[in-house]
Amino acid sequence: MPPWAAVVSALAFLCLAVITHRYWTWERTLLAIAVFNLVFVPVALLAHPDWHSVGRALLTWKPLPGLSKDTLIIVLADIGATVTPWMLFFQQSATVDKGLTKKDIHLGRIDTVVGAALAATAAVATILATAPLFARHMTAENFQAAEFAQALRPLIGRFGAALFALGIVEAGMVASVTISISSAYAFGEVARRPHSLNLPMAEGRVFYSVLFLCAVTAGAIVLIPGLPLIYVVLLVNVVAVLAMPPALVFLFMLANDREVMGDLVSPTWANILTTGVVVFLALAGILFGISVIAPSIFAFLGGK
């Protein structure tokens, strides 16, 4: 399939997901696609991982041999792909769109925990699925996303490689749809314009225009010939790390505002955990800034 056909198909899926003007339909359509995130689990099993080594890696901590600038970018990109500022804007607006109330908080927490567990399972499975490539001393620089599936074919078979490719396609489609809608939500709040997936096109033309503009722009960027897409993904997630601390600080203040939250104000243990996350993200961003602005100081701190 040529790249342009894949992009057009993804945009068509986005249109179908929002054209009903109902959050309920959009959510279930996206969840149906997101189920394919779990195809990485059978792919990981087809790779026949060494479970003893996997268990040791999950239970023990092995320090990095050297914190180079490239390694730091990888670590920050992993953090940025996990703790993302756009998700805050999506979550708050989706809560309103879905019509949730205080009585839904308990089930909402369960929903969040289950979703996080499933996402982490798929992420670990993806690493295990691609481990055979790196065991053969290959590097990620040799592959773009689709080429991983091609490289895995001799190791896990045609079926396993096809499943891996399907998982990559699914992950890209879900990300493009959710991030585009998150951007439209955020723009609507800042510009004080109606922003809801329940709005008809005439009433929500600004919201839908921003949504489709973001999706089309992303598709156009992907089609730029020779663009190093892996580097673009890493850079975007590093930017997410740098943008996250301010957003978390405001969220922290809101969660502790008794006038707004009432009896649902954030408990002490949650505040301690949140403070730790904010400090960690801030320090990670500062370390990255030092590596860019003053590489000699970064080398002195333990980098190469």
pLDDT tens digits, 70-101: 777 888 888 888 878 888 888 888 888 888 88
Q: Name the stretches of the chain with pLDDT < 70.
A: 63-67, 136-146, 292, 294-295, 297-304
- DSSP annotation of 18 reads H
Distance in angstroms (rounded) separating the CA atoms of residues 15 and 107? 30
On whether the CB atoms of residues 176 and 218 are closer than 8 A, the answer is yes
The structure tokens listed for 238 are 């590093």
Q: Which amino acid is residue 161, in one-letter code? A: A
Radius of gyration from C-alpha coordinates of the chain: 21
Would you state the pLDDT for residue 272?
92
pLDDT of residue 195: 87
Q: How far is CA 48 from CA 44, 128, 211, in A?
A: 7, 9, 41
Give me the pLDDT at residue 138, please: 63
- Could you give the CA distance from residue 181 to residue 115 in angstroms, rounded to a whole number? 19
Say which amino acid occupies 165.
Answer: A
- The tokens for 221 are 């960027």
CA distance 173 to 195: 22
Q: Among residues 224, 239, 230, 253, which one has the least CA distance to residue 288?
A: 239
pLDDT of residue 139: 60
Q: What is the DSSP letter of 67?
A: -
Token pair belonging to 8: 């057009």
Amino acid in position 225: P
